[in-house]
Chain A
Amino acid sequence: MVLLMVRVTVRGYASFREILGRVDIEIVTDAETVRQLVNYLTEKYNPGFASALLDSASGEVMKGNKVLVNGRDIDFLQGLATRLKDGDRVVFFPPVGGGLSDARPLVIRRSSAGFGPRATSSVASWGSLSC
């Protein structure tokens, strides 16, 4: 049996970059669909990747997360069944283009009432977060 291999570029932004651990990943894989690619990345790079990306009940992309293949949201292609071809670029975004995972919530300090001028929060309260 001959496996058809494809070369794809993968990029995770914000929390997905942390999870995948690298900026751009060039992959040669026998994954035929986005779902198979997600499984591959979960196996090879981080066992938490699929659970951060997919809804555990439905197995589909979690609401708010976004997967683009060559700049197109897979919801307007064939979803996770979208087929991959050589040279594709696949990127993963958490909700609305950025943000951190729920596991690492941002703390914003507020004035006691939650209102009023100068309710300033400090970067120091962000701890060691980095993307």
Chain B
Amino acid sequence: MEFRLLRVDLTRRKTWTQTIDDATTKKFIGGRGLGLRLLYDETKAGIDPLGPENKLFFMTGPITGTTFPMSGRFHVVTKSPATGGIGDSDCGGDWGPELRFAGFDGVAIEGKAEKPTYLWINEGKTEFRDASKLWGKGVWDTEDMIREELGEPKAKLASIGPAGENSVLFASIMNDKHRAAGRAGVGAVMGSKNLKSIVVRGTGKVTVAHPEQLGAAVKNALEKIRANGLTGKTLPELGTAALVNIINEIGAYPTRNFQTGVFPTAGRTSGETMRDTILTKVKPCWGCPVACGRVTKVTTAPYQVDGEGPEYETVWSLGAMCGIDDLNAITMSHNICDDLGMDPISLGVTIACAMELNEKGKIPKDKLYGLDLKFGNPQAVVQLAYWTGYRSNFGDDLAMGSKRLAEKYGEPDLAMQVKGLELPAYDPRVVQGHGLGYATSNRGGCHLRAYMIAPEVAGIPEKLDPYQTEGKAKWVKTFQDIFSVADSLVTCKFSTFALSAEDFKELANPITGWNWSADELMETGDRIYTLERMFINREGFGRKDDTLPKRLLTEPLPEGPGKGHVNELSKMLDDYYNIRGWKDGKPTSETVSRLGLA
């Protein structure tokens, strides 16, 4: 299956089309994997992530825009300004399918535009357009203004807000106003190129190799998705915030910068509370039968907002992580992040770090302009969200992320991050295997490289004791590999709760014509994950970086079910390297050869 890549040189204002051959796509699929292959080959180690020499790939996969369930996504791949390593992020919404309907499978951005620009891709034709009057605008206004300017109400956009323009190191790229390629600062890279938006409109069709075989596989997959407790019931009904209560009950709900794992009033921000208070509609991404998206409205002062979300991660990062249980304030902060184009996980974790720094007396008063920066103050979080997006006042410090912030104020161990990327909403002192996933994640602190919560909490595909370390390494590798495939096909990771590698094979083969076995599919995931590792090795990452914040390794949880536990990473890490065929965090030459990466 060939991949039709639109090449865009912003410096020379040129576009052309490259066709990537079947042999390459079969090895790296599309999305995250193929984007990585291109980035690895076309950029050199040590480049400035925010310089014109960095490249930014917007990639769909072979299933995007087909009847494969939950396939309305795209993947962004670049070098991360937050970590200096691989920076890739996945996005739902409606942009990915539209790009394929417009005749392209991906867009590769290089160089830097002389002035603010947006790219208009209309039914296979491209045009550079002036974005000067859009610069400084939020994501929501940007979408509305461009659609009006083009007279194309059905155009789909991938845009940045002020955070991306201002090089906030965790700026996101936004689609459909509320869907985000949120992590690793991909929006800052887009902003560094003076690129405000990529706008697409297409009415073509996506062709598949064997459409007659696809129907039965899709029917089977849809039945499994509907029958699955998570994808068929919990996510549609309660959204991702359904997780709040159970993660809190097991004592793994990071609270006040991971100082404890229990937040007594977490229920005020749960999926159930959201449904009973601020939810107005549920909303799916393109072609999704699950519809975990929440359309919400807060009508009471002082946090009135009409928007979407929050999701589980943002309920936590802008909530319990900062000691806050005010769902209205959290919803407001979340929507500020959407409009200004920022990752709410990294923002919340960075604010929590700042709160602890301040409570320890590390931040000079004159930095805060009178802001009462303490845990439990929702007004401070809302204010800091604005300040950070615009890099004003103390927001200029927060825009660097938690690692640089904590280093600047002399307490580097207070940053809850791995490899420079802020951690998500599960305390690895309870969920041990999930901690190994954080530590070995190529892009840094991330729950979406190996979602060990599935087996360690939800019992999917089988129930594992969260406190056990033995045998977890193999599971982490399996999740990392299948998620690499999911991100490269490109499908929503929630589909992996209901569908196995065997199901993926049955769905993907009629589309690609590759006749994969499930083993080949998993080996492809291994290849992608290993090449990512080679990318970050090239940037200097190794065993020393496959770790967790000191707090999680040495400070036992003070209360709750996990009281007395730390994460026992050292019991799992060597096992993990052995299973991967890596040594000290680097693939061996045998592994590189075995996976065809030599």
A binding-site residues for B, Cβ under 8 Å: 13-14, 64, 66, 68, 70-73, 75-76, 91, 93-100, 106, 108, 110, 114-117, 119-123, 126, 129-131
Residue-wise, chain B 283-311 has the 8 Å CB interface mask toward A (1 for contact) of 11011110100000000000000000000
A68-B250, A70-B561, A71-B251 known; A116 and B287 CB under 8 Å?
yes
Determine if A95 and B282 form an interchain contact, defined as CB atoms under 8 angstroms apart.
Answer: no
A71-B562, A123-B279 known; A99 and B233 CB under 8 Å?
yes
* Residues of chain B with a CB closer than 8 A to A14's CB: 238, 272
Give the complex CA separation of A52 and B283 in angstroms.
30
Give the complex CA separation of A121 and B460 in angstroms.
27
A71-B250, A106-B233 known; A99 and B287 CB under 8 Å?
no
* Residues of chain B with a CB closer than 8 A to A73's CB: 250, 463, 465
Give the complex CA separation of A75 and B466 in angstroms.
12
Besides A72-B250, A108-B291, 8 more A-B contacts (Cβ < 8 Å) are A66-B246, A72-B561, A97-B457, A98-B234, A100-B233, A108-B289, A119-B284, A123-B280
The residue on A at minimum CB distance from B497 is A96
Give the complex CA separation of A64 and B498 in angstroms.
13
Determine if B242 and A123 form an interchain contact, defined as CB atoms under 8 angstroms apart.
Answer: no
Kindly state whether residue B459 has any CB partner on chain A within 8 Å: yes
The residue on B at minimum CB distance from A14 is B272
Give the complex CA separation of A70 and B562 in angstroms.
10
Determine if A120 and B237 form an interchain contact, defined as CB atoms under 8 angstroms apart.
Answer: no
* Residues of chain B with a CB closer than 8 A to A110's CB: 289
Q: List 29 A-B contacts (CB under 8 A).
A: A13-B245, A13-B246, A64-B229, A66-B459, A71-B249, A71-B560, A72-B250, A73-B250, A73-B465, A93-B246, A95-B229, A96-B242, A97-B458, A98-B233, A98-B234, A98-B242, A98-B271, A99-B238, A100-B233, A106-B233, A117-B72, A117-B94, A119-B289, A120-B291, A123-B280, A123-B281, A129-B237, A130-B276, A131-B275
Determine if B282 and A120 form an interchain contact, defined as CB atoms under 8 angstroms apart.
Answer: yes
Determine if A96 and B94 form an interchain contact, defined as CB atoms under 8 angstroms apart.
Answer: no
* Residues of chain B with a CB closer than 8 A to A130's CB: 276
* Residues of chain B with a CB closer than 8 A to A97's CB: 234, 242-243, 245-247, 457-458
Give the complex CA separation of A66 and B247 in angstroms.
13
* Residues of chain A with a CB closer than 8 A to B246's CB: 13, 66, 93, 96-98
The residue on B at minimum CB distance from A76 is B465
Determine if B236 and A106 form an interchain contact, defined as CB atoms under 8 angstroms apart.
Answer: yes
The residue on B at minimum CB distance from A73 is B463
Determine if B245 and A98 form an interchain contact, defined as CB atoms under 8 angstroms apart.
Answer: yes
Give the complex CA separation of A71 and B97 in angstroms.
42
Determine if A99 and B250 form an interchain contact, defined as CB atoms under 8 angstroms apart.
Answer: no
Within 8 A of A (CB), among B92-125: 94, 97
* Residues of chain B with a CB closer than 8 A to A119's CB: 284, 287-289, 291
Kindly state whether residue B67 has any CB partner on chain A within 8 Å: yes
**Size of B's binding interface in residues, CB under 8 A:** 45
* Residues of chain B with a CB closer than 8 A to A96's CB: 229-230, 234, 242, 246, 458-460
The residue on A at minimum CB distance from B312 is A97
Kindly state whether residue B324 has any CB partner on chain A within 8 Å: no
A-B residue pairs, 3 tightest by C-beta:
A71-B561, A95-B229, A98-B242
Cβ of A56 to closest chain B Cβ, rounded Å: 18
Determine if A68 and B249 form an interchain contact, defined as CB atoms under 8 angstroms apart.
Answer: yes
Cβ of A107 to closest chain B Cβ, rounded Å: 10
* Residues of chain A with a CB closer than 8 A to B222's CB: 114
* Residues of chain A with a CB closer than 8 A to B560's CB: 71
A interface: dominant SS: loop
Determine if A98 and B458 form an interchain contact, defined as CB atoms under 8 angstroms apart.
Answer: no
Give the complex CA separation of A131 and B560 in angstroms.
25
Q: Which of B234, B236, B243, B272 has the most CB of A within 10 A?
A: B234
Give the complex CA separation of A113 and B562 in angstroms.
47
Residue-wise, chain B 532-576 has the 8 Å CB interface mask toward A (1 for contact) of 000000000000000000000000000011100000000000000
* Residues of chain B with a CB closer than 8 A to A71's CB: 249-251, 560-562
Determine if B229 and A115 form an interchain contact, defined as CB atoms under 8 angstroms apart.
Answer: no
Cβ of A16 to closest chain B Cβ, rounded Å: 11
Residue-wise, chain B 438-470 has the 8 Å CB interface mask toward A (1 for contact) of 000000000000000000011110010101000
Give the complex CA separation of A110 and B226 in angstroms.
13
Give the complex CA separation of A95 and B246 in angstroms.
11
* Residues of chain A with a CB closer than 8 A to B561's CB: 68, 70-72
Give the complex CA separation of A64 and B251 in angstroms.
20
A91-B249, A96-B230 known; A123 and B282 CB under 8 Å?
yes
* Residues of chain B with a CB closer than 8 A to A115's CB: 67, 287
Give the complex CA separation of A130 and B280 in angstroms.
14
Cβ of A9 to closest chain B Cβ, rounded Å: 12
Give the complex CA separation of A131 and B233 in angstroms.
14
Cβ of B268 to closest chain A Cβ, rounded Å: 12
Cβ of B203 to closest chain A Cβ, rounded Å: 13
Give the complex CA separation of A76 and B457 in angstroms.
12
Cβ of B113 to closest chain A Cβ, rounded Å: 30
Within 8 A of A (CB), among B243-279: 243, 245-247, 249-251, 271-272, 275-276, 279
Determine if B463 and A131 form an interchain contact, defined as CB atoms under 8 angstroms apart.
Answer: no
Q: Which of B236, B247, B460 has the most CB of A within 10 A?
A: B236
* Residues of chain A with a CB closer than 8 A to B457's CB: 97
Determine if A99 and B229 form an interchain contact, defined as CB atoms under 8 angstroms apart.
Answer: yes
A96-B242, A121-B282, A131-B272 known; A75 and B463 CB under 8 Å?
yes
Determine if A99 and B289 form an interchain contact, defined as CB atoms under 8 angstroms apart.
Answer: no
Determine if B236 and A98 form an interchain contact, defined as CB atoms under 8 angstroms apart.
Answer: no
The residue on A at minimum CB distance from B94 is A117
Cβ of B146 to closest chain A Cβ, rounded Å: 18
